[in-house]
Structure 1
Amino acid sequence: MLLYIHVPFCRRKCHYCAFFSLPHSADLEVPYLKALKREIAFRGKQLKDRNISSIYIGGGTPTLLSISSLRKIMNKVCASFRLHKNMEFTFEANPETINDPNYLSALRSLGINRISLGVQSLDDEILYVLGRRHTSTEAIRSVGMLQDAGFENLSIDLIWGLPGQSLKMWMQDLRTVVKLRPKHISCYGLSIEPDTFLGQHLEQGQVELPEEHFQAKMYVHGAEYLESESFLQYEVSNFSKMGYVCLHNTGYWEGRDYIGLGPSAVSLVDGFRWKNPSSLDGYAALTQDSFSGLEKEDLGHEVWVREKIMLSLRTAKGLNLKEYRQMTGHDFCRRFGPLLKALHSSNLIRMANGYVRLTKNGMLVSNSIIERFIF
């Protein structure tokens, strides 16, 4: 089982972000910690027979929490759950918060062995448009500090398709990041949510995104370049050096059970999915009431199969046709024969060794392709 902990605090909300977050303050951190520890204890009793294979602390900006607060969280986790020895333990960080070697050393002492660093861009003007708090210089400096602190397993997040971004700028970002020697790079296409600051500016015509054919080149050329630098693409948005795939996220794509702790966190256990309230007050009240009244969704077999298709086709490995037949009693190729033929002739899928997988061009439009199979 996978364990995710959501830290909802940020210094300021980024202009593209639609996740639940709050301005960080000590007055909010105290009730958050109390509620989180109650949930850890509650879920630990529920899941006492399950082994935790990986931990991921995300946000928000987890590096805004003090080491004292993080230690309290981890002491409770260790007392409540059965943890695998030498498990992957990822911690999200933003460059502007990486400035104290003692803090980084303390993170390692807590067992954290993987850092996911939210760089997003190395162009200062674009960072300003995104509402990010760091500069390109700070981003590069933070990478060095993390590596000097002993975090060999370092992942860097980047975004393509940004306002004002050209193909040349995107490729230069990738070349610069590769020279920093991370073990993992995540490249996400910008997703515009309507209620965000950036979404409103786009609707009002105050910013423009690159044209679609330029965005397509960013994705395909970027993926080809990273593979030429020995970064293996193992999922639509993720590239790693050999032996450094993110085991936690791979668990999601493989359909493994996961427990999410903290406000707005999502869980999937034994075919049931639920989401914690997206407010600190609502979350705290729920933990005090032993999660009474929390609605759970029974996925059912049909939804489970659809999600298996969706998650598998996001990966470079693809959908196992034998497993699909075992789950459904149907032959995937017969069931979707005309669609598969059309996608193959358009160089959007490949079929080999009992798997159907998307090509790079297919991954670029993966959402549209997957919808054809599951709806």
Structure 2
Amino acid sequence: MGTPSPEAVYIHIPFCTNKCHYCDFNSFVLKGQPVMDYLDGLEREMERTVRAVPPDTIKTIFVGGGTPTVLLPDQMEHFLRLVRTYFPTQADDIEITMEANPGTTDEEKLSVMRAGGVNRLSFGVQSFDNALLEAIGRIHNTDDVYRSIETAQKVGFTNLSIDLMFNLPRQTVDILSRTLDAALALDLKHYSIYSLKVEENTLFHTLYERNQLPLPEEEEEIEMFLLIMERLKGAGYGQYEISNFARPGYESRHNITYWKNRSYYGLGAGAHGYWNGLRHINVKGVQPYIDATRKDLPRLEVNEVSRQEAMEDFMMVGLRMLEGVSDSDFREQFGGQSIRSVFGERIDKLAAVGLLTETESGVRLSDRGILLGNEVFGEFIGILS
């Protein structure tokens, strides 16, 4: 029996209205970009991909970016038709998520998305403090957020998520607390709340190097994270992954695919994919990607993931989920070997300092481990090679 085909699809739309100060994603300002040529390139990649690895049952599709919602309604309609053509969705309960920016959605576009099969929206809100939004390079304000969410609900979207950020320059615990008040008042199904990481090749990194990025102190960052967990839990949301909170049954099934180290299709400029022990990264530039799709699959790199590396990845990404990693999942992926037979020594070391807890089904982060997750994940890098 061959390797089963992926049940998850990631598609990258690399266009944005502008580049945010913290963003190192593969994205390009929309003005003057060959959008329809790009969608034609995506179609060529989809056609070659499904020929090479025919899909069976697709359970989740995630359209990210960039800002997919900068597509005009007719471009959006065309794009979603392509998705349905090449990745037909037999599963009744398929989750099709699209990232959206407040300020780039209106009723016409949202209606086209809904008609095209999108049933989950993830809005990049980041903060409900207008001064902070401006300082991080966002083009929307809080009025845009309320208007976008109201319009999405009006056209029939019920499964909505918003992204928020903490540990931002000049952000205080009080400012964050007011953002959490505003966010929770919306009573959405899902919230993703990430700590700012200063990435290379961003404006923030340049400022950081010059000592011109006034970030909160580490103690304040921890205080913010504790407040987030307390407030979300108090409002009835389950923290199912370090940065993600959901009403029961509304967890992001697509992201759980990544955290369980399962395979997925990855299409579009700069997209990553993983199947049958191979990880690929696509060509990143818009025109280079379009040109590459005319010849073959638009690969920049294809790397074989060794068994040892896959085991390490399984632990690192799986421990992000609060339920932890499952021994039966591990045995299924790695020919019957148990987690303990491979990582027993490391687990004992981390359990001894109170960062990991063993469960009936496997291993998870302790409460203290949740606060120090990166230290735990780092313990699994390169230990088998």
Tell me the TM-score normalized by structure 1: 0.93
Choose which of 263, 266, 289 in structure 1 pairs with 2:269: 263
Alignment of structure 1 residues 66-77 onto 2, 5 Å? 66-77=72-83
Moved more, 228-237 or 164-173: 164-173
- State whether residues 280 and 299 of structure 2, in contact with CA within 8 Å, keep that contact through their aligned partners in structure 1: no
Residue of structure 1 in register with 2:375 after alignment: 368
Choose which of 136, 139, 161 in structure 2 pairs with 1:133: 139
- State whether residues 48 and 80 of structure 1, in contact with CA within 8 Å, keep that contact through their aligned partners in structure 2: no
Q: Secondary structure at the match of 2:139?
A: coil
Choose which of 198, 208, 218 in structure 2 pairs with 1:202: 208
Shift of 1:347: 3.7
Q: Secondary structure at the match of 1:4?
A: strand
- State whether residues 104 and 149 of structure 1, in contact with CA within 8 Å, keep that contact through their aligned partners in structure 2: yes
Amino acid across the alignment from 1:77: V
Q: Does 1:356 align with 2:356?
A: no
Structure 2: distance between partners of 1:206 and 1:193: 15
Structure 1: distance between partners of 2:58 and 2:90: 6
Choose which of 35, 42, 53 in structure 2 pairs with 1:36: 42
Q: Does 1:16 align with 2:22?
A: yes
Alignment of structure 1 residues 108-123 onto 2, 5 Å? 108-123=114-129
Q: Does 1:50 align with 2:45?
A: no
Shift of 1:43: 1.0
Shift of 1:243: 0.9
Residue of structure 1 in register with 2:3 after alignment: none
TM superposition outliers: structure 1 runs of 4+ over 6 Å? none
Alignment of structure 1 residues 85-104 onto 2, 5 Å? 85-86=91-92, 87-98=94-105, 100-104=106-110
Shift of 1:316: 1.0
Alignment of structure 1 residues 185-196 onto 2, 5 Å? 185-196=191-202
- State whether residues 41 and 76 of structure 1, in contact with CA within 8 Å, keep that contact through their aligned partners in structure 2: no
Structure 2: distance between partners of 1:114 and 1:27: 27
State the identity %: 34
Shift of 1:296: 1.4
Amino acid across the alignment from 1:147: Q
* 1:159-187 residue CA offsets vs partner (Å, 9 max, x unmatched): 01111111122122112101101100001
Residue of structure 2 in register with 1:148 after alignment: 154
Structure 1: distance between partners of 2:91 and 2:335: 36
Amino acid across the alignment from 1:31: D
In structure 2, runs of 5+ residues without a counterpart are 1-6
In structure 1, runs of 5+ residues without a counterpart are none
Amino acid across the alignment from 1:242: P
* 1:34-71 residue CA offsets vs partner (Å, 9 max, x unmatched): 21111111112222243221111111111110121122
> How many pairs are equivalent?
374
Structure 2: distance between partners of 1:361 and 1:38: 48
Shift of 1:374: 3.2
Q: Secondary structure at the match of 2:216?
A: coil
Amino acid across the alignment from 2:364: R
Alignment of structure 1 residues 162-181 onto 2, 5 Å? 162-181=168-187
Amino acid across the alignment from 2:152: L
Structure 2: distance between partners of 1:165 and 1:292: 41
CA 1:220–1:40: 2 relative to 1, 3 Å: same
Alignment of structure 1 residues 323-362 onto 2, 5 Å? 323-324=329-330, 327=334, 332-333=339-340, 339-341=346-348, 343-362=350-369
Alignment of structure 1 residues 268-283 onto 2, 5 Å? 268-283=274-289
CA RMSD of aligned residues (A): 2.0
Shift of 1:322: 4.7
Amino acid across the alignment from 1:304: A
Moved more, 194-203 or 76-85: 76-85
* 1:314-359 residue CA offsets vs partner (Å, 9 max, x unmatched): 1111122354467377664576566545544544222221321113
Shift of 1:151: 1.1
CA 1:220–1:343: 2 relative to 1, 3 Å: farther
Amino acid across the alignment from 2:235: E
Residue of structure 1 in register with 2:310 after alignment: 304
Moved more, 38-47 or 262-271: 38-47
* 1:245-272 residue CA offsets vs partner (Å, 9 max, x unmatched): 1111111111221111110001111111
Structure 1: distance between partners of 2:27 and 2:33: 15
